[in-house]
Amino acid sequence: MQNLCIASFKTTSKSNNMKIKVQDKEIVLFHGASVKDALLRYFTKCDIRRDVINHVVVKDQWGHELDLDAPLRDGQLVFFSFSES
């Protein structure tokens, strides 16, 4: 069974932080944060074990797979699911 999480990434114009909304939870990250940074913050807020990050598949809104070290940008929509392996 796969879990699907949806993250919408937006930045604020007045600060050096990005406000990120993941499953209706607002997460603030620094500009230049990667997909992995967002996942780790989300996992921490949701009490999900951080070691499962090695079993996550991340895709953008067009279905293209993203690396964990991919940078985030304004308005980006990211989906991640937990693989069964």
Which residues make Cβ contacts (< 8 Å) with residue 60, sequence separation at least 6? 66, 76, 77, 78, 79
Q: Could you give the number of structural domains in the chain?
A: 1
Q: State which residues form the domain around 9.
A: 4-82
Answer for the pair 78, 59: CB distance below 8 angstroms, yes or no.
yes
pLDDT in tens, 14-24: 568 887 766 66
pLDDT in tens, 33-55: 898 998 898 889 889 888 888 89
Name the residue among 20, 26, 83, 19 with its Cα closest to residue 57.
83
Q: What letter does residue 15 receive in the DSSP assignment?
A: S
Whole-model pTM?
0.74
Answer for the pair 16, 33: CB distance below 8 angstroms, yes or no.
no
What is the band of 11 on the pLDDT scale with cuts at 50, 70, 90?
A: very low
